Amino acid sequence: MTAKIAHARLLCQSLTIGALILGALPAHAQQATGKSFVDDFDKIDRSVWYVSDGWNNGAHQNCTWSKNQVKAEGGMLQLTFAEGKSKDRNYLCGEIQTKKRFSYGTYEARIKSATGKGLNSAFFTYIGPADKQQHDEIDFEVLGKDTSTVQVNQYIKAKGGNEKLVPVGQGADQGFNDYAFVWEAGRLRYYLNGKLVQDVTDPSKIPQNPQKIFFSLWGTDKLSDWMGKFAYTQPTTMEIDRVAYTAPGDKCQFQGSIACTLN
């Protein structure tokens, strides 16, 4: 079992715990999908976003999700990793996820990653056992061991192995970059700063189930081969300037959107 697969399986288990905390949604809500939107994070809209709080994603994760590590300030969503005791963890970290699911369309986020080996600054979509679905996932992950690259990947029915490292240029923690993917039934395209960096056309490697949108910053003591040997020095923050989802056929949600050139 690779470290990434182990991470994914533990994530499924932990989100099941999270679902118990949230409570089961009615059947009709489980099938709903979100509509086109853009969020500049002048505030955290709690009707759109759920803030993870009070648990972790398993033994591989060395921090506890805390609502205190999530805030909107200066027109940015800020997710912070810092020292702080919670249950059996010595660190606190931040995550938000949409309450609704989203299907095919264009997903975009403008992000500055956190700094630090053993950390993961992630923008991804996910659905799994917590929502009584098989595990599907589409990822952008900046790993703290090398912030000059971003890893793209996808899972289909809990099967991954589609990783690709894409050069960012300057460190992803040194400035903001635009991450986007265009998800269609028979094609999945990843973009970095407007440039196509990965084009998946094999239907067996493309998720089909509607998913929630996530932003998360977390650390590990165990997955050092994948994320780097953890070495905490000071609090660090992942910043998200904007996120947008554009459904197929809808007008683009902001000037400069990838969707403006596709529709």
What pLDDT, in 10s, does the model give residues 131-189?
889 999 999 999 999 999 999 999 998 889 999 999 998 899 999 999 999 999 999 99
Confidence of residue 248 (pLDDT cuts 50, 70, 90): very high
6 within some domain: no
User: Residue 103 is encoded by which pair of tokens?
Assistant: 């299907």
What pLDDT, in 10s, does the model give residues 181-227?
999 999 999 999 999 999 999 999 999 999 999 999 999 999 999 99
Least confident of 19-23, 33-37, 241-245: 19-23
Confidence of residue 262 (pLDDT cuts 50, 70, 90): confident
217 within some domain: yes
CATH number of the domain where residue 210 is located: 2.60.120.200
13 within some domain: no
Query: Looking at per-residue confidence, does 218 or 22 come out higher?
Result: 218
Examine the pLDDT at 258 and tell me if it is beyond 90. yes
133 within some domain: yes
Q: How many domains is the chain built from?
A: 1
CB distance 110 to 98 below 8 Å: no
What pLDDT, in 10s, does the model give residues 37-93?
999 999 999 999 999 999 999 999 999 999 999 999 999 999 999 999 998 999 999
What is the pLDDT at residue 263?
Answer: 65
21 within some domain: no
Confidence of residue 116 (pLDDT cuts 50, 70, 90): very high
Please identify every residue annotated as catalytic: 137, 141
Confidence of residue 4 (pLDDT cuts 50, 70, 90): very low
Q: List CB contacts of 100: < 8 A, sequence separation 6 or more.
A: 32, 33, 34, 48, 212
Tokens 């969020």 correspond to: 39
Closest CA to 261 of 157, 177, 174, 182: 182
Examine the pLDDT at 28 and tell me if it is beyond 60. no
Q: Is the pTM of this model over 0.95?
A: no
26 within some domain: no
Examine the pLDDT at 17 and tell me if it is beyond 80. no
183 within some domain: yes
CA 166-251-262 angle, to 5 degrees, is 40
CA distance 95 to 25: 20
Closest CA to 139 of 170, 111, 175: 111
User: What is the span of the domain harbouring residue 173?
Assistant: 37-261
